[in-house]
Amino acid sequence: MSSSVDLGTFIKIFGDILTASVLGYAAYWAFSIRRALRVPSYKIQALWVGAYSLIFIITGVFVGTNSLLSYVSPYLYAETQTGVANILVGIFYIVFLFLFLPWVDSNINVGRRSDPVLRDALRWKKVRLFVWSIVILSLAVGLTGTGIGLYTGNSTTGISAQLVSVGFGAMALTAIAPGIPALLLTTRRSKDPAFRRSLKWFGIFLLLLVVNLIGGGIPTPNYASMIAYDLVGVVVGAFGGYSLYKCAVSLVPPLHRISRSDT
């Protein structure tokens, strides 16, 4: 039994290191490309890719440290699985969701400018004001719940958990529900191939993120299924980092364009 636990922990730690390495590579190229690009909208795109890469690197370090702690010192690991750990995970979702809406908003604006007739997808110019208001209000509710959890030391039950669930749930729904359809429609209308390629890879990254989150609730009744689940997690995490890398390099013009412009 201990060997299975050891192997499962090793796979998780290896997966976290591999994913963090790929994400670090993606962040390096995103920030490097941002410095080299001259188009302001592309520079913003690269900045977002680099920011998301860093966020997930920090999260991976936290999760990897947790996995290593469970192997090295099970008692200390059990002691740290309190409301504080849950709050740290909650903070990650706060940052991710709060950055997600500005990313969607900026991409819709970029895509609209690359539309020959400058169409406003789903009346986003007006809808965005309502969406931003709800997201900020939901963020305030979620942060209030987080603060109560920190003060009481209990973030899993009671009013703290309810405020966090309602606040962050409303925040996610409000940011994703109107933003994604408007972004997809804007991307379809855009005539900028680099913009479309970059968003395609970011869409793959988001899809893998959703698969990873859904997979977290899948039970693993035996040793073989646990190992298989961990191995799939390694592949999904590494390819997610690769998707962010491709999202950044897609903003770079093809080599033949660069050579022509130089000549």
| Domains of the chain by start residue, with CATH | 2-254 (1.20.1070.10)
Considering the entire predicted model, what is its pTM?
Answer: 0.75
| pLDDT digits 0-9 by tens, 227-263 | 887 888 888 889 989 999 999 999 887 654 444 444 4
Question: What is the residue-wise DSSP string for the chain?
Answer: -HHHHHHHHHHHHHHHHHHHHHHHHHHHHHHHHHHH---HHHHHHHHHHHHHHHHHHHHHHHHHHHHHHHHH-HHHHHHH-SHHHHHHHHHHHHHHHHHHHHHHHHHHHHHHHTSTT---GGGHHHHHHHHHHHHHHHHHHHHHHHHHHHHHT--SSHHHHHHHHHHHHHHHHHHHTTHHHHHHHHHHH---HHHHHHHHHHHHHHHHHHHHHHHTT----SHHHHHHHHHHHHHHHHHHHHHHHHHHHTTSPPHHHHHHHH-
Give the Cβ contact number of residue 117 at 10 Å. 6
Long-range contacts of 47-54 (CB under 8 A, 24+ apart): 48/99, 48/103, 48/106, 49/198, 49/202, 49/244, 49/247, 49/248, 50/26, 50/248, 51/99, 52/99, 52/103, 52/205, 52/244, 53/23, 53/24, 53/26, 53/27, 53/241, 53/244, 54/23, 54/27
Across 121-140, average pLDDT: 86
Question: What is the residue-wise DSSP string for 135-195?
Answer: HHHHHHHHHHHHHHHHHHT--SSHHHHHHHHHHHHHHHHHHHTTHHHHHHHHHHH---HHH
| pLDDT digits 0-9 by tens, 39-55 | 888 888 899 899 888 88
Across 209-218, average pLDDT: 71
* In the predicted structure, residue 103 carries a pLDDT above the cut 90: no
CB 20 within 8 A of CB 64: yes
Residue 3: both structure tokens together: 């060997």
- The average confidence (pLDDT) of the chain is 77
Across 63-82, average pLDDT: 57
pLDDT at residue 258, rounded to an integer: 44
Query: pLDDT band at residue 86, thresholds of 50, 70 and 90?
Result: low
Distance from the Cα of residue 214 to its chain's centroid: 14
* In the predicted structure, residue 4 carries a pLDDT above the cut 50: no
Distance from the Cα of residue 71 to its chain's centroid: 27
